[in-house]
Amino acid sequence: MDPHIIGLIGMLLMLAMIFLHVPIGVAMGLAGVFTFGMIRGNFGPALTLFGTETVGKVASMELAVVPLFLLMGAFATVGGLSSDLYRIAYALVGHMRGGLAVATIGGCAGFGAVCGSSIATATTMTRVAMPEMNKRNYAPRLSTGSIAAGGTLGMLIPPSIILVLYGVLTEQFVKTLFVAALIPAVLAVVLYVVTIWVLVRRNPELGPPGEELPWVEVGRALMNGWAAIVLMITVTGGIYAGIFSVNESAAVGAVLAFVIALLRGRLTMKSFWLALRDTAATTSMIYLMIIGASIFTYAVTLSGLPEMIVNGIRDTGLPGIWVVVLLMLMYIVLGSIFDTISSMVITIPFVFPLIIGYGFDPIWWGILTVMVIEIGMVTPPVGMNVFVMKAMLPKTTLRTIYAGVMPFLLADVVRLALVIAFPALTLALVDFFALPR
């Protein structure tokens, strides 16, 4: 049988298993072994892929940062750092009209820098920010929309787990990806704040102004939040200043978050084991998907299917920018159905060769990929962040949350268009610091 046909059958087999609710990592691994065995006509060597790829990924130093960053985020949550960051933002801008929503965006950005997870950020900030906004009579659609949209920042702001995985899967430097994400992350925060300002200017009742705190209270909030600030500066500043490698920074961050939670008296034996359990469960899920993706990528590359797809699309004469736009639409749909990691690992074997074939920069594409999957996290009809919030806020309707998210989605589309039109927004700092890529 033609290897291209075998590769196509393998891809369809993978999708069929996923829709039958087989775990994505398992589905990709089994489809990869089937494809490799059919091409070689012998399933003996194909089965060895389970061993070689598992050993390779478990021994990978690049992937070692994943459990460390996850552990750091777990200890940061136990230590109450999200509340500290929110109080700092509230002390600075809470007195403005819509200020609590702006503080929520700021709190999400800060917690994203010590968490690296979109869902974890949205979950934590729902607990912290929603009661405060309800207390001050904020419109539900503004409060839920700002939390859902702000939660997506956890995926983009370094250290980002999904950027680490993109770097491993495509053999790009993780530190370079972290630096490339800085300007788009700042742009996201700015556009979200502008969105809130426009909304409350048009309808002041959406976000009434809060009480203006004296500078003494602002200073107290900053002093009480010193631990969160130190953790952010240590982890991100250490990477960018060249003091730590990414792996070292993850290890230092995990230890520092543990010490902060311990000194605050929040780290009980129960919370400690829960943090370890959650980290182990998430790490296992990620490693399973990465191992499965590696097996599937190896097999499908051997079939020549990605090369055939790339050549077929290029032969149509379709301009590269339109290919990018179509891929963006595809990722928005996938991001609204699958979780972020699944969306990326399923498509990389086919999409990455296409992007490279058109001559686009892989670092620029990595940031774009994360941004557009991030948009899918709040896009109807699913949107993982929205459903997480709905589960935590049973009295709030999905219609209210989606109505609140829509203005922020418009801001996301503007940001996406800017980064597509001006690649320098992602590559300027990379070139300035002469980072490898």
User: pLDDT tens digits for 248-269?
Assistant: 999 999 999 999 999 999 999 9
Contacts of residue 402, Cβ cutoff 8 Å, sequence gap at least 6? 380, 383, 386
User: Smallest Cα–Cα separation from 292: which of 334, 336, 342, 356?
Assistant: 342
At 93, which amino acid appears?
Answer: V
Whether residue 25 is predicted with pLDDT greater than 70 in this model: the reply is yes
Percent residues over pLDDT 90 in the chain: 38
User: pLDDT tens digits for 82-91?
Assistant: 888 888 888 8
In the numeric block, the tokens 């002041």 are attached to 204
273 or 51, greater pLDDT:
273
Whether residue 414 is predicted with pLDDT greater than 80 in this model: the reply is yes
Whether residue 382 is predicted with pLDDT greater than 80 in this model: the reply is no
Domain residue spans in the chain?
3-432
Cα–Cα dist 384/379, whole Å: 8
At 56, which amino acid appears?
Answer: G
Whether residue 434 is predicted with pLDDT greater than 70 in this model: the reply is yes
User: Smallest Cα–Cα separation from 135: which of 107, 175, 111, 100?
Assistant: 100
| Pair 419, 184: CB distance under 8 Å | yes
pLDDT for 170 equals: 92
Cα–Cα dist 49/93, whole Å: 55
Percentages helix, strand, coil for the chain (3-state, rounded to 5) are 80, 0, 20
Whether residue 209 is predicted with pLDDT greater than 70 in this model: the reply is yes
Whether residue 335 is predicted with pLDDT greater than 80 in this model: the reply is no
In the numeric block, the tokens 């207390």 are attached to 135
pLDDT for 339 equals: 65
Mean pLDDT value across residues 37-58: 86
Cα–Cα dist 43/343, whole Å: 28
Whether residue 320 is predicted with pLDDT greater than 80 in this model: the reply is yes
Listing DSSP states for 143-212 in one string gives HHHHHHHHHTHHHHSSS-HHHHHHHHHHT--HHHHHHHTHHHHHHHHHHHHHHHHHHHHH-GGGS---PP
- Measured between alpha carbons, how far is residue 399 from residues 338, 358, 360, 402, 406 in Å? 21, 40, 38, 5, 11
Question: Is the whole model's pTM more than 0.85, yes or no?
Answer: yes
pLDDT for 262 equals: 93
In the numeric block, the tokens 């820098």 are attached to 113
CB atoms within 10 A of CB 202: 8
At 59, which amino acid appears?
Answer: A
